[in-house]
Chain A
Amino acid sequence: AQERITVNIGSSHPENNIWVYAMKNTFQPEVNRILGAAGAYEIAWVESYGGTLYKFTDTREAVMDGIVDVGMVGTVWEGANMPLQNVTYFTPFATEDHRMIIEIFDDLSENLPELKDSWAQNGMVHLSSLITDSYDIYATFPVETLADLQNRKLNAPGTSANWLRETGATPVDGALTTYYTNIQTGVTEGTLSFASGILPTRVYEVAPELTRVGIGSMYFGGIAANKDFFDGLPGPVQEAFREAAAATSVAHGDYVADLAARALDEMQAAGLTIHELPEEEKAAWVNGLPNIIEPWLEQTGESGRVVLKAYFDALRERGATPLRNWDEGL
């Protein structure tokens, strides 16, 4: 006979969000498919997508506390409790290849003790990596040289404020939902953001000049399971989760790639002009930044050094050439 297992799955964001899409559309069906083929177990999914149970500030606690058994965890909002996962935000201009970031963090989260333990300490098991496509500048003006950033106000929330240091631009707080009116009313003159996020908010209508800067793709967080819950699952179900998670990572990378490409097409059709910041200007930008990884290293100590080194080794192994060697001198 089939054993029925109830799994509460949920997120702070709706089902069509880039970080949730593959949970609903790949992870769940894949688990069902794998278990269905074997026949011994069946999952009864209880879905709480779209923030009906908790807000985006609480994604870690929701999975850790078992409010959901499986959930999207935005480590980007967990600078205090899961700082190691935010290494990409403190090492900009590393790579624009978001699939590479997924691959690296799927590997490190499982095989690098520092990262794996960090998930475990927070009562979670990492299943699949979530990322953003590469950050660029959407503004009312094109950026041809760094001088064009002088005395400009740009939306750059959270850690991304660091990326504007010494550029002469003033970072202004905000969120995807505020960029449009901020720019329209002159509160800011543009924003640091990524294509798949910008398209649905129509920011390109008020900021029609996109300058490809290549600040890079960022590790945003992971799909994770509550540790007690996961450890209590029968072996074959754990295996099915792992296998489905691998498929989810691929699907997430594809979805973001498609969405970003489609976003650029649609935005260009709607009047967006794309500029490329010259290589030497990019180099000047990244080398002009202060050592923004320093406070992060101070906070994370030895584990931070290990993670940073492993991340940069993995980047280079896969053929990426980070514009600045943030791991220098470790």
Chain B
Amino acid sequence: MSTSDESTSGADDAYIPRLADAPVGSVLATVAAILSSIGTAWIGALMLLIVADVVGRNFLDAPITGVAEIAARSVVAIVFLRVAAAILQRRLTRADFLLRRLERASPRALCLVEALFALAGAVVFALIVWASWPKLASAWATAEFFGVQGVFTIPTWPFRLITVAGAALASLCALYVAQDELRKLGARE
């Protein structure tokens, strides 16, 4: 697992360029970092929720209703909150053995390939946005919820919003990465 297995530390926020150097990149990266932090905190909250349910159910005869459903929706939310930052940090899993050879042979060709790949990512996430926003609109309009009337209900629109907004930001970030690669390509001439 190339991404997951890297040991990371320290320079986690290094992907945020300075506002003066790259205003668009800086704004995108800041928004991505904020969403990503929410996603990070959400993982902790999920752990606490599950522990609370286990304790409540076994020791207090008070299970928490809807934990399974909430946890299920949380998983998706965490992904879309964090994906834009992962794109900027270039942390999406890939097989890079050919790319590393290409880099040695021709760094400029690598920039071009990276730009194309990032564009592919921008398109893929744009497709998700295009596919998903109508359901966001209708979830809002019909007050769609999950859960059970009279037991617990949670509106779905915030979760659908996270999917749409997260994918939109991811698409923009991928575009920015493509532009950044092309800029490097130009700079190497």
Using CB atoms and an 8 Å cutoff, list the residues of chain A in contact with chain B: 79-81, 83, 86, 90, 151, 153, 158-159, 161-162, 170-173, 187, 292, 294-296, 299
Contact = CB atoms under 8 A, between A and B. Distances in A.
A172 B142 contact: no
B130 interface: no
B117 interface: no
B150 A162 contact: yes
Contacts of B142: 80-81
Interface stretch (B12-20, B35-43, B56-64): B56-64
B61 to A, nearest CB: 5
Contacts of A158: 148, 151
B65 A296 contact: no
Interface residues of B, number: 21
A172 B56 CA distance: 11
A131 B66 CA distance: 24
B63 A172 contact: yes
B68 interface: yes
Given A79-B145, A90-B149, A153-B61, 6 more contacts: A90-B150, A158-B148, A162-B151, A171-B65, A173-B67, A187-B58
Interface of B is mostly: loop
B149 A299 contact: yes
A9 to B, nearest CB: 24
A80 B145 contact: yes
A79 B68 contact: no
Interface in B152-178: 153, 156
B144 interface: yes
Contact of A80 (B63, B65, B66, B146): B146
Contacts of A299: 149
Contact of A83 (B61, B67, B149): B149
B147 interface: yes
A221 to B, nearest CB: 15
Contacts of A86: 149
A161 B148 contact: yes
Interface in B119-147: 142-147
